[in-house]
C-alpha cells in the first residue's frame, strides 16, 4: 500500500469520528466523502472485469457496501433545530463505518504480504476470479456504495425533516369570504 492509500483510508475513517459531535448538514458534509471516493475511483477504478465469477464478487461486495451505507445512514441521528438540519453519528453508525473501512484496509494490507497474496490467489483460482483488478473493483465499489448510500440516506432524512418542519411553521391558511357571504 502506498502512502496515498493510507491517507485516503484514514481520511475516510476520520470523517465519521468528526461526525460523532453534532454538526449542521451542509454541502461540506455531503461533498467531502464523495470527493474522497471520486479521487479513489479516478486512481484505482480502471475497468470492471467480467470474466469468470468476477461480476459475482463485485456485486456481492457492492451489495454489502450498500447495506452498510443504508444501515449507517439510518443509525445516524438526524434532527431539525433552529432552522437547520443537524446530524450526529451514533456509536452504532460509527462502528459500522469503522468495521467496513477496517475490513478494506486490513484486506489491502493482508493481500500485499506474501502469505496473504498466496491465500488470495488460491481462493481466486478455486472460485474462478480471474484478475486482481476484480478484487480492487469489488472493494472500491463496496466503499463507494457505502458512502453514497450513507450520505444519500442522511440527506433524504434531512430533507424530510425540513419539509415537515416547514409545514409546521407555516401559519394556518386564512379563509377569505366571498362578497356577500358572512364568515
pLDDT in tens, 45-104: 888 888 889 999 999 999 999 999 999 999 999 999 888 999 999 999 989 988 988 888
Question: How many angstroms separate the CA atoms of 167 and 31, rounded?
Answer: 28
Buried b (16+ CB within 10 A) or exposed e, 128-142: ebeeeebbbbbbbbb
The average confidence (pLDDT) of the chain is 85
Average pLDDT on 131-159 reads 92
Q: Length of the chain, please? A: 183
Percent of the chain with pLDDT over 70: 88
Of 16-20, 75-79, 107-111, highest mean pLDDT = 75-79
pLDDT at residue 171 above 80?
no
For the question of whether the overall pTM of this predicted structure is more than 0.85, the answer is no
Question: How many angstroms separate the CA atoms of 139 and 141, rounded?
Answer: 6
Buried b (16+ CB within 10 A) or exposed e, 79-99: ebeeeebbbebeeebbebbee
Q: What pLDDT sits at residue 179?
A: 58
Is the distance from CB of 21 to CB of 52 less than 8 angstroms?
A: no
Number of H helices, E strands in the chain: 6, 3
Q: What pLDDT sits at residue 36?
A: 82
Q: What pLDDT sits at residue 180?
A: 53
Q: How confident is the model at residue 42 (pLDDT cuts 50, 70, 90)?
A: confident
Check residue 45 and report its DSSP letter: -
State residue 65 phi and psi, 5-degree precision. Answer: -60, -40
Question: How many angstroms separate the CA atoms of 64 and 50, rounded?
Answer: 19
pLDDT at residue 116 above 70?
yes
Looking at the DSSP bridge assignments, the partners of residue 79 are: 86
State residue 50 phi and psi, 5-degree precision. Answer: -125, 0
So where are the chain's domains? 3-166
Q: What pLDDT sits at residue 78?
A: 94
Amino acid at each position: 500500500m502506498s502512502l496515498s492509500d493510507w491517507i485516503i483510508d484514514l481520511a475516510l475513517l476520520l470523517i465519521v469520528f468528526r461526525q460523532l459531535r453534532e454538526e449542521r448538514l451542509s454541502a461540506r458534509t455531503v461533498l467531502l466523502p464523495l470527493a474522497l471516493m471520486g479521487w479513489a475511483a479516478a486512481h484505482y477504478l480502471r475497468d470492471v472485469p467480467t470474466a469468470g465469477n468476477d461480476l459475482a464478487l463485485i456485486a456481492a461486495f457492492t451489495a454489502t457496501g450498500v447495506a452498510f451505507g443504508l444501515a449507517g445512514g439510518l443509525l445516524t441521528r438526524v434532527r431539525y433545530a433552529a432552522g437547520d438540519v443537524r446530524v450526529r453519528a451514533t456509536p452504532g453508525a460509527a462502528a459500522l463505518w469503522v468495521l467496513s473501512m477496517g475490513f478494506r484496509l486490513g484486506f489491502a494490507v493482508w493481500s500485499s504480504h506474501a502469505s496473504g497474496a498466496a491465500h488470495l490467489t488460491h481462493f481466486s483460482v478455486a472460485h474462478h476470479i480471474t484478475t486482481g483488478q476484480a478484487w480492487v473493483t469489488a472493494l472500491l465499489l463496496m466503499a463507494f456504495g457505502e458512502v453514497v448510500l450513507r450520505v444519500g440516506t442522511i440527506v433524504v432524512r434531512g430533507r424530510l425533516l425540513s419539509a415537515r418542519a416547514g409545514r409546521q411553521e407555516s401559519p394556518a391558511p386564512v379563509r377569505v369570504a366571498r362578497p356577500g357571504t358572512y364568515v
